[in-house]
């Protein structure tokens, strides 16, 4: 077992429930010490990013494609109610059964009831982040249903008792030798090597037995097609295809925002999705199915449409764009914050920039208030987003909501950041206050300025700065003081370089 | 040509040498400059931390102060990005029609320094001399918000004696992010370490940028680690000439 795996084994389950997870800075601090995990994350995201850049660069019409994808998603959201009803009608006509779940608890109960109707003590699953959002697996296990993941990454997580750290590559934080350890332990294969072929073969023999014996499956959905009532699942391994074709009964869980108006919209969406997600021109397996087909695939098919806070996001003009997301994770791979911390620090199964805006909104701003601040607002996310979600704009909007919550709390008066921001605003309103504050700051800074002219340590919030950076001592003359002094001088002497040297 | 200087609260207090360099540079190029001493802050810090009402009142002050300016020059990419990307939304939510109209009329006259030189003054060779090896840090706001593109490189390429060195991973954030550097100090420091590795690997004498905020972050770590490299605002390089070289203060 590697050092990193050992250090994590002290707490095998990083807390990904936003209601109870520690704030981002705190969660990040402990992860920053896990050098193996950080190396894994940086390497994996660098590889995916480079592949994405290559595949995007070869599309000369990428910007137009991106505009089209954004327009399709906007249109779908603006007319979501009508398209969802159309989907229900078409899917029902094709032999599917559509269920509506307003929240996670309702969705879990619907799925459990369906499994009871099927008399299913076991169920196989295609990778679905939405099921992780509603914490379906632990619920089903408690209710006596054994759940088996079939996506390779999800198997690694399930067998290794690990949590997902990425929405496309959930086991991205785990490297090959760690996978070997997990498989060797859980499949009792002491001689297993970490050769990718050997690992794949081990997973295959584990999976075949599940595919052939368990007749009930749960899937997510990448898209729902209103026009035809079809469900679309996009994957790389073919294990999803197995789940979609072998079982007798299939239950699909999908967020209501997954709706697309027309079948032909896939022409655009599948192009941007594969290139953005995995840096491939086309993903290996794209499965579409519409209701049930006699003698082909599942005989009973259910779709559970999940709201869980989405319609409230839809009602807000700035935040609505969050729902355009097609879960490609390009923003996550591009994020310099995620690159340092990986996914677990976000305390949610949705990490990275998209998680930082989606999670607090799904929680109706009751939890995860630290996430909108888990960004330097560098805009790398917005730059790569294939549906043009202005993530920094939404982050700033959510920060304003967090501050508005703070304004109503007494504890704000003891929060140095809050008090500091109020004082700064008071100071910035009137020039003489600003100039007085500059002079007072200059005097105060002298106390901390060492003989080299730099400040090496500060108290209070300033200590957060000086933990890794020095700060140059404040110059003796501000710019506006210099300008005023210069105006006093005769015109010829106005060489800026003759300014009184600060320090 | 006339231009009003918005020096920014940050430069006024912490980096007055940048302001002096802008004055020296633009006056050398024949620009008639004025400076409004009533100026304080553009509101970026408050807006980006979630203090929308406070940011609005600072934004309103800015618009009122500069509404009659022929051109406004700002030696800070992130402050220009604040004005371009966020003022409209603030005024939409909290302002009235007359404020929105005033801002709409003012906006095309607001320039980041390199934009002002290349787009307005149409000059690339500003007559500068700076005999050092320089790596340019394309700050996130300059790169992605303002899309400054090759403007800084074009200006640097005309500086006599200067050697430009390419920066690996130049589009990656340095980790400053305003109050992010305090609220998420540990992650910010980790990002800083990654960025510093790339910058130091170039072996440059100076790391230059159009944002003193990034440079305070990078320069603070360079000093802490005694790396021997210095930071410098692009204005100070462009202001430097053989007969009047740049001040050395950092």
Confidence of residue A14 (pLDDT cuts 50, 70, 90): confident
Average pLDDT score, chain B: 97
Render pLDDT for A242-251 as a digit per residue (tens, 0 to 9): 999 999 999 9
Q: Where are the beta strands (DSSP E) in A63-215?
A: 97-101, 122-125, 146-149
Looking at the structure, tell me whether residues A124 and A13 fall in a common domain.
yes
Percent share of chain A, pLDDT over 70: 95
Domain end, chosen from A269, A286, A312, is at A312
Residue A404 burial (C-beta neighbours within 10 Å; 0-12, 13-18, 19+): middle
What Rg value do the Cα atoms of chain A yield, rounded?
Answer: 27
d(CA A189, CA B243): 76
Residue among A375, A262, A327 nearest A28 (CA):
A375
Residue at A331 is within a domain: no
pLDDT classification of B247: cutoffs 50, 70, 90? low
Cβ of B13 within 8 Å of Cβ of A438? The answer is yes
A350 belongs to a structural domain = no
Nearest CA in chain B to A377: B177
The answer to whether the CB of A374 falls within 8 A of the CB of A331 is no
Does any CB of chain B come closer than 8 Å to the CB of residue A456?
yes
Residue B186 in domain? yes
Total structural domains within chain A: 2
* d(C-alpha B222, C-alpha B2), whole Å: 38
Whether residue B92 lies inside any domain: the answer is yes
3-state secondary structure of B20: helix
Other Cβ atoms less than 10 A from the Cβ of A465: the count is 21
The answer on pLDDT for B213 being more than 90 is yes
- DSSP, res B129: B
Contact B180 A375 (CB under 8 A): yes
- Model confidence over A149-192: pLDDT tens digits? 999 999 999 999 999 999 999 999 999 999 999 999 999 999 99
Would an 8 Å CB–CB cutoff place A451 in contact with chain B? Answer: no
For residues A445 and A346, what is the distance between their CA atoms, to the nearest angstrom? 36
Region of poorest pLDDT, from A398-402, A409-413, A432-436, B15-19: A409-413
Q: Are residues A302 and A433 in the same domain?
A: no
Residues B175, B99 within the same domain: no
The pLDDT, as a whole number, for residue A88 is 98
* Cα–Cα separations (whole angstroms), residue A164 to A133, A351, A371, A479, B96: 11, 9, 17, 51, 47
Instruction: Decide if pLDDT at A15 tops 90.
Output: no
For helices B97-106 and B52-66, the axis angle rounded to 10 degrees is 60
> Would B247 be classed as within a structural domain?
no
Question: What 3-state DSSP class applies to B126?
Answer: coil
Maximal C-alpha separation, chain B:
53
Residue A178 lies in a domain: yes
* Segment A255-282, tens digit of pLDDT: 999 999 999 999 999 999 999 999 999 9
- B230 and B170 share a domain? yes
Contact B20, B53 (CB under 8 A): no
> Tokens 């591009």 identify what position?
A334
CA–CA distances in Å: residue B170 to residues A101, B136, B233: 46, 9, 17
Inter-chain residue contact B57 with A429, CB threshold 8 Å: yes
- List CB contacts (< 8 A) between B139 and chain A: none
Q: Is-contact A142 A115, C-beta < 8 A?
A: no
User: For A82-104, how does the pLDDT look when each residue is reduced to its tens digit (9 = 90+)?
Assistant: 999 999 999 999 999 999 999 99
* Domain stop point among A280, A312, A344: A312
Can you give the pLDDT at residue B116?
Answer: 98
**Which range marks the domain in which residue A444 is found?**
414-498
Element (H, E) at A208: helix A196-213
Instruction: Report the residue of A342, A480, A489 to disrupt the B interface, i.e. the one with the largest count of B CBs within 10 Å.
Output: A480
Give me the number of domains chain B comprises. 2
Contact yes or no for B67/B3 (Cβ under 8 A) = no
Does one domain contain both A300 and A436?
Answer: no
B107 and B180 assigned to the same domain: no
Statement to judge: residues B44 and B67 lie in one domain = yes
pLDDT at A491: 62
**Which residues pair with residue A216 across a beta bridge?**
A249
Identify whether residues B137 and B224 lie together within a single domain.
yes
Give yes or no: residues B106 and B7 share one domain.
Answer: yes
Q: What is the rounded distance in angstroms from the CA atom of residue A359 to the CA atom of residue A167?
A: 13
Which CATH number goes with the domain that contains B202?
3.40.50
Q: Which of A206, A178, A180 is nearest to A193 (CA)?
A: A180
Dihedral sign, Cα of residue B67, residue B73, residue B75, residue B79: positive
Q: Does A107 touch chain B (CB under 8 A)?
A: no
Residue B245 lies in a domain: no
Q: Give the residue-averaged pLDDT of A362-387.
A: 97
Residue A485 touches partner B, C-beta closer than 8 Å: no
Distance CA B160, CA A93 (A): 75
Whether B107 and B179 share a structural domain: no
**How far from A228 is each of A232, A295, B27, B183, CA to CA, in Å?**
11, 20, 67, 49
Alpha helices in chain B (DSSP H): 9-14, 16-28, 44-49, 52-66, 77-94, 97-106, 113-115, 140, 151-157, 180-183, 185-201, 212-224, 234-239
Instruction: Burial-class residue A76 by CB neighbours within 10 Å (0-12, 13-18, 19+).
Output: buried
Same domain, A165 and A290: yes
Mean pLDDT of B153-172: 98
pLDDT band at A13, cuts 50/70/90?
low
Q: Is residue B171 part of a domain?
A: yes
Q: Flag whether A31 is in a domain.
A: yes
Structure tokens at A479: 């710019």
What dihedral do alpha carbons A61, A62, A64, A67 form, nearest 10°? 170
Cβ neighbors of A353 (< 8 A, separation 6 or more) are A331, A332, A335, A337, A338, A375, A381, A391, A395
Mean pLDDT along residues A207-222: 97
Distance, in Å, from the CA atom of B155 to the CA atom of A202, rounded to the nearest integer, reads: 59
Question: Within its chain, how far is the Cα of A457 from the centroid?
Answer: 35
Average pLDDT, chain A: 94
Say if the Cβ atoms of A503 and B188 lie within 8 Å: no
Do residue B41 and residue B8 come from a single domain? Answer: yes
* Within a domain: B250: no
The residues with which A293 forms a beta bridge, in sequence order, are A296
pLDDT at B246: 78
Beta-carbon separation of A470 and B16 below 8 A = no
Which domain does B19 fall in, by range? 2-120
Nearest to B76 by CA among A61, A479, A385: A479
* pLDDT value of position A497: 53
Residue A408, class by beta-carbon neighbours within 10 Å (0-12 exposed, 13-18 middle, 19+ buried)? exposed
Binary contact (A496, B23; C-beta < 8 A)? yes
The sheet with strand A223-225 has its strands ordered as A259-260, A223-225, A230-235, A285-290
3-state secondary structure (DSSP) of residue A235: strand
Out of A270, A291, A312, a domain closes at: A312
Q: Is the pLDDT of residue B157 over 50?
A: yes
Contacts of B61 in chain A (CB under 8 A): 428-429
CA pair distance B203, B201, nearest whole angstrom:
5
Number of H helices and E strands in chain A, helices first, is 23, 12
- Cross-strand pairs, A472: A454
* Closest Cα in chain B, distance from residue A35 (Å): 11
Distance to chain B for A162, nearest Cα, Å: 23
**Residues A433, A303: one domain?**
no
Which segments of A117-187 are extended strands (E)? 122-125, 146-149
Pairwise CA distance, residues A386 & B228, whole Å: 42
**Are B232 and B165 contained in the same domain?**
yes
DSSP bridge partners of B3:
B33
Q: Name the maximum alpha-carbon separation found in chain A.
A: 96
Whether B192 and B216 have beta carbons less than 8 Å apart is answered as: no
CB < 8 Å to B47, chain A: 396
**Interatomic CA distance for residues B246 and B250, integer angstroms:** 11
Mean pLDDT over residues A127-133, rounded? 95
Residue listed under structure tokens 């050395």:
B248
Same domain, B191 and B217: yes
Please determine, for residue A502, whether its predicted confidence score (pLDDT) is greater than 60.
Answer: no
How many other CB atoms sit within 10 Å of the CB of residue B84? 15
Domain identity same for B109 and B147: no
What pLDDT is recorded for position A500? Answer: 45
Q: A214: helix, coil or strand?
A: coil
ipTM value: 0.97
DSSP code per residue over A344-398: GGGSSSS-HHHHHHHHHHHTTTSS-TTGGGS-----HHHHH-TT---HHHHHHHH
Does a structural domain hold residue A336?
A: no
* Token duo for residue A2: 């590697």
For the residues B15-27, what does the mean pLDDT come to?
97
> Tens of pLDDT along B116-138?
999 999 999 999 999 999 999 99
Q: Does any domain span residue B244?
A: no
* Residue located via tokens 């994350």: A41
Q: Which B residues 164-183 touch A at CB under 8 Å?
A: 171-173, 175-183
Q: Do A495 and A468 touch, CB atoms closer than 8 A?
A: no
Which residues of chain A lie closer than 8 angstroms to B57, CB-CB?
425, 429
pLDDT at residue A4 greater than cutoff 80 = no
Pair A161, A141: CB distance under 8 Å: no
pTM of the model: 0.95
Asked if residue B128 belongs to a domain, the reply is no
What letter would DSSP give residue A282? Answer: S
User: Residue A89 is part of a domain; what is its CATH number?
Assistant: 3.40.50.10420
Q: How many residues does chain A have?
A: 503
Beta bridge partners, B164, equal B134
Q: What Rg value do the Cα atoms of chain B yield, rounded?
A: 18
What residues pair up with A471 in beta bridges, in sequence order? A455
Interchain CB contact of A375 with B (< 8 Å): yes
* pLDDT for A5: 39
Tell me, what DSSP letter sits at residue A178?
A: H
**Closest chain B residue to the Cα of A421, Cα to Cα:** B46
Flag whether A333 is in a domain: no
A327 token code pair:
């879960």
Tokens representing residue B69 in the block: 């300016």
Q: In this model, does residue A496 exceed pLDDT 70?
A: no
Helix A152-160, helix A176-186: angle, nearest 10: 60
Chain B: residue whose CA lies nearest to A334? B172
Which residues of chain B does A429 touch, with a Cβ-Cβ cutoff of 8 Å?
A: 40, 57-58, 61
What phi, psi does A393 have (nearest 5°)?
-60, -45
Contact check, Cβ <8 Å, B16/A441: no
Looking at the fold, whether A42 and A183 belong to one and the same domain comes out as: yes
Pairing of strands B206-209, B230-233: parallel
Q: What pLDDT digit, counting tens, does each position of B43-65 carry? A: 999 999 999 999 999 999 999 99
Rounded CA-CA distance B170/B141 in Å is 13
């Amino acid at each position: 077992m590697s050092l990193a795996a050992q250090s994590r084994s002290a707490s095998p389950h990083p807390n990904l429930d936003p209601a109870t997870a520690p704030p981002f800075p705190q969660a990040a601090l402990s992860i920053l010490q896990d050098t193996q995990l950080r190396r894994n994350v940086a390497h994996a995201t660098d590889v995916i990013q480079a592949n994405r850049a290559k595949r995007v660069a070869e599309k000369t019409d990428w910007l137009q494609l991106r505009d089209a994808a954004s327009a399709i998603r906007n249109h779908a959201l603006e007319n979501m109610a009508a398209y969802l009803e159309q989907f229900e009608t078409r899917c029902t006509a094709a032999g599917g059964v559509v269920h509506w779940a307003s929240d996670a608890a309702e969705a879990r109960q619907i799925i459990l009831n369906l499994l009871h109707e099927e008399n299913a003590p076991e169920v196989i699953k295609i990778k679905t982040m939405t099921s992780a959002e509603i914490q379906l697996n632990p619920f089903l296990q408690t209710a006596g249903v054994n759940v088996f993941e079939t996506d390779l990454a999800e198997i690694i997580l399930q067998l290794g008792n690990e949590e997902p750290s990425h929405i496309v590559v959930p086991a991205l934080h785990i490297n090959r030798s760690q996978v070997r350890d997990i498989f060797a332990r859980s499949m009792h294969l002491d001689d297993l090597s970490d050769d990718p072929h050997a690992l794949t073969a081990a997973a295959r023999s584990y999976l075949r037995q599940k595919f052939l014996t368990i007749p009930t499956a749960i899937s997510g959905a990448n898209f729902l097609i209103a026009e035809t009532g079809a469900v679309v699942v996009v994957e790389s391994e073919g294990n999803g295809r197995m789940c979609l074709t072998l079982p007798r009964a299939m239950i699909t869980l999908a967020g209501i925002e997954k709706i697309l108006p027309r079948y032909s919209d896939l022409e655009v969406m599948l192009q941007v999705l594969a290139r953005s997600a995995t840096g491939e021109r086309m993903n290996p397996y794209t499965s579409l199915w519409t209701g049930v087909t006699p003698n082909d695939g599942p005989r009973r098919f259910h779709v559970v449409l999940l709201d869980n806070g989405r319609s409230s996001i839809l009602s807000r003009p700035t935040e609505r764009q969050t729902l355009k997301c097609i879960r490609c994770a390009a923003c996550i791979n591009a994020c310099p914050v995620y690159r340092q911390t990986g996914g677990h620090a976000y305390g949610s199964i949705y990490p990275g920039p998209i998680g930082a805006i989606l999670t607090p909104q799904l929680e109706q701003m009751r939890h995860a208030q630290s996430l909108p601040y888990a960004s330097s607002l560098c805009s790398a996310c917005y730059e790569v987003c294939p549906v043009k979600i202005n993530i920094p704009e939404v982050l700033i909007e959510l920060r304003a909501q967090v501050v508005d919550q703070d304004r109503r709390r007494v504890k704000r008066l003891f929060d140095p950041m809050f008090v500091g921001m109020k004082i700064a605003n008071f100071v910035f309103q009137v020039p003489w206050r600003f100039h007085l504050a500059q002079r007072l700051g200059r005097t105060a800074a002298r106390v901390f300025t060492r003989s080299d002219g730099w400040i090496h340590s500060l108290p209070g919030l300033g200590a957060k700065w000086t933990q890794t950076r020095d700060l140059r001592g404040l110059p003796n003359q501000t710019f506006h003081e210099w300008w005023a002094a210069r105006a006093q001088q005769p015109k010829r002497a106005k060489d800026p370089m003759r300014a009184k040297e600060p320090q | 040509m006339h231009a009003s200087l918005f020096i920014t609260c940050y430069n006024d207090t912490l980096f007055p040498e940048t302001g002096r360099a802008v004055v020296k540079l633009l006056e050398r190029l024949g620009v008639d400059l004025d400076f409004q001493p009533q100026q304080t802050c553009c509101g970026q810090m408050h807006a980006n931390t979630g203090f929308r009402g406070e940011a609005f009142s600072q934004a309103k002050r800015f618009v009122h102060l500069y509404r009659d300016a022929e051109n406004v020059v700002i030696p800070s990419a992130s402050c220009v990005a604040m004005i371009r990307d966020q003022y409209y939304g603030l005024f939409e939510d909290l302002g009235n029609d007359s404020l929105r109209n005033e801002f709409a009329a003012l906006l095309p006259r607001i320039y980041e320094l390199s934009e002002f030189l290349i787009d307005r003054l149409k000059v690339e060779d500003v007559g500068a001399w700076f005999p050092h090896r320089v790596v340019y840090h394309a700050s996130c706001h300059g790169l992605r918000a303002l899309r400054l593109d090759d403007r800084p490189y074009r200006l640097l390429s005309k500086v006599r004696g200067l050697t430009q060195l390419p920066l690996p991973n130049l589009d990656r954030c340095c980790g400053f992010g305003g109050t992010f550097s305090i609220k998420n100090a540990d992650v910010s420091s980790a990002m800083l370490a990654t960025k510093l590795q790339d910058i130091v690997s170039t072996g440059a004498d100076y790391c230059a940028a159009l944002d003193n905020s990034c440079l305070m972050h990078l320069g603070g770590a360079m000093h802490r680690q005694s790396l021997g490299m210095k930071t410098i605002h692009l204005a100070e390089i462009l202001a430097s000439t053989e007969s009047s070289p740049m001040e050395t203060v950092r």
